[in-house]
Structure 1
Amino acid sequence: ALQRDDAKASEAGLKYFVLGALSSGLLLYGASLVYGFSGAIRFDAIAAAVQGEAGTGVLFGLVFMICGLAFKVSAAPFHMWTPDVYEGAPTPVVAFFAGAPKLAAMLLFARVLAEAFPLAADQWRQVLILIALASVAVGALAGLAQTNLKRLWAYSSIANVGYAVLGLAAGTAQGVQAMLVFMALYSVSVIGFFACLAALSRNGRPLETLEDMAGLFQQRPWLSLALTIFALSGLGLPPFAGFWGKYYVFMAAVNAGDPVLLWSAVAALVGSVIAAFYYLRLVKVMWFDPAPGETDRPPVEAGAIAIGAAAFTFPVVLGLMPLIDRYAAAAAAALGLG
């Protein structure tokens, strides 16, 4: 809500505050139930108290905690704040929202489940699968109707969180590592995309709709190429980074040995195909539609961030592929998740 004279910004700030307080309430209520029925607040102590199948009270508390964390990562059906907040907030703030808090919250998600409730995986896996599939469905289908790029990428982020949660639902070390790889690659791509939006304007007005992006390739070819890479990466087209992130997540779900997870991965793949429409529509508008006017000269800093992120998303990540498994395993072990 930094732009106090903007009605959309004020609305975005209010919604984020109110719904954020609600999610914190759910998280704290769940934590209090877990403490009440386990008598512990440390993850290792909770794991020791919850031996075998978790009791009903602990499970209720865990479900509330999962719901609170799902708000933080904007996973469906707790995603309602995301499109309005993304649309109303300043573009640099949205870039931060879409990257850093989601990565931090997914790490907390993994630690709570893997450290405090490792023996209750059969119970929490069912909840995570539902959240993952709902997120992919909402992100893919609702995104088809969007014309504002911030709202479009909000639904894209909801779908991408669904893929990350699906990896976490595997309940294995491979699933945690797949989630870490996916979120790392996703964070670079989403920050680069919003850096492109921050760099683009026409007559002092930001370019925020699909119509604004028409003919951009003829005027700003490097930024258009960066946006194309981010769109194709979000689509999951090889050899872009988004493909490798989804590949790791789907393989973790398949290798978990649970038929439900296998079919969930198939359903998520179908959702990815549906979402391809709005990514390819953006590429088509930039490359083939006539431009409505000349764009302003982009700021050097934003353009450099965008092009650097695009370079990592396409060629650089290919050179890192042999090391990704090692780095992901080391990161998971450092977090106590390996």
Structure 2
Amino acid sequence: MAYSSIGHMGYALVGLAANSQAGVRGVAIYMLIYLVMTLGTFAFILAMRRKEGNVEQINDLAGLASTNPIMATILTILMFSLAGIPPLAGFWGKWYVFLAAINANLYALAIIGVLASVVGAYYYLRIIKLMWFDEPVGGFVPMASELRLVLGVSGAFVLFYVLIGGPIGTYAEAAAKTFF
């Protein structure tokens, strides 16, 4: 997640580089979406526990869909969103910052950002492949109810963002107007 965070902050900087109201609006939306995706992902990471203690390796997710399909489904939604797959929230966050860059004639920056997003998607898709297509290495202990709530709300937000994005965009637009 550390390298992922660095990449995602780069996408936010694309919106700032546009130096426009649309860029600030895009960054505000992107940061909210990124916050929710990251909260859900970290809730999952905190829940990755076995009787022996915490697990820290990506390979420990192998076969999770067999042992805990709900947990695997929600993490899959979050991973697809982090990768920027439409119609999930992560796609819309990237859409707004790249669109602001294009409108500011920063075509090369937008192209580089899209290409970086495609390359970054590999790492998220690798996690999804491990969870759904590899042999299980063992299940996790039951998730605490607080973590389950955070994971569920985060998953619902990125899944249904397309339905609730209008008011968020309106607030982001109002915030961006204060800068321009």
Report the TM-score, using the length of structure 2 for normalisation.
0.95
- Runs of 4+ in structure 1 deviating by more than 3 angstroms, as ranges, are none
Q: How does 1:194-273 map to 2 (within 5 A)?
A: 194-256=42-104, 258=105, 261-273=106-118
**Among candidates 138, 150, 157, match of residue 293 of structure 1:** 138
Contact 2:80 2:124 in 1 (8 A): yes
Structure 1 residue ranges without an equivalent (≥5): 1-152
Q: Give, as a single letter, the amino acid of the residue that structure 1 aligns with 2:6.
A: I
Identity %: 40
Corresponding residue number in structure 2 for 1:337 = 179
Match of 1:278 in 2: 123
Q: CA deviation at 1:323?
A: 2.7
SS at match of 1:254: helix
Give the structure 2 partner of residue 171 of structure 1.
19
Are the counterparts in 1 of residues 67 and 138 from structure 2 also a CA contact under 8 Å? Answer: no
Equivalence map 1:135-146=2 (5 Å): none
In structure 2, what is the equivalent of residue 3 of structure 1? none
- Contact preservation (8 Å) 1:222, 1:307: no
Give the partner amino acid of 1:320.
Answer: I
TM superposition shift of 1:300: 1.3
Q: What is the distance in 2 between the residues matched to 1:311 and 1:324?
A: 15
**Secondary structure at the counterpart of residue 56 of structure 2:** coil
Equivalent residues of 1:201, 1:295 under 8 A apart:
yes
Paired with 1:211 and 1:231, the residues of 2 have a C-alpha distance of 15
Gapped regions of structure 2 (runs ≥ 5) = none
User: Separation in 2 of the partners of 1:264 and 1:224?
Assistant: 34
Within 5 Å, give how 1:314-333 maps onto structure 2: 314-315=159-160, 317-333=161-177
Q: Is the 8 A contact 1:213 1:285 kept in 2?
A: yes
- Superposed, 1:109-188 pairs within 5 Å as 153-188=1-36
Q: How many pairs does the alignment contain?
A: 180
Rounded Cα–Cα distance in structure 1 between residues aligned with 2:132 and 2:18 = 40
Match of 1:13 in 2: none
**Cα offsets for 1:222-267 (capped at 9, x unmatched):** 11111111110111000111000000001100011x3xx1111001
Cα distance in 1, alignment partners of residues 124 and 149 from structure 2: 23
Counterpart for residue 82 of structure 1 = none
Residue 296 and residue 178 in structure 1: after superposition, are their counterparts in 2 closer, same or farther (change >3 A)?
same
Shift of 1:283: 0.1
RMSD: 1.2
- Amino acid paired to 1:212: D
Structure-2 separation of matches of 1:294 and 1:166:
40
1:295 Cα offset (Å): 1.9
Q: Which has the higher contact order (CA 8 A, sep 6+)?
A: 2
Is residue 2:20 matched to residue 1:191? no
Supply the AA of the counterpart residue of 2:162.
Answer: L
Instruction: Tell me if the contact between 1:185 and 1:242 (Cα under 8 Å) persists in the aligned partners.
Output: yes
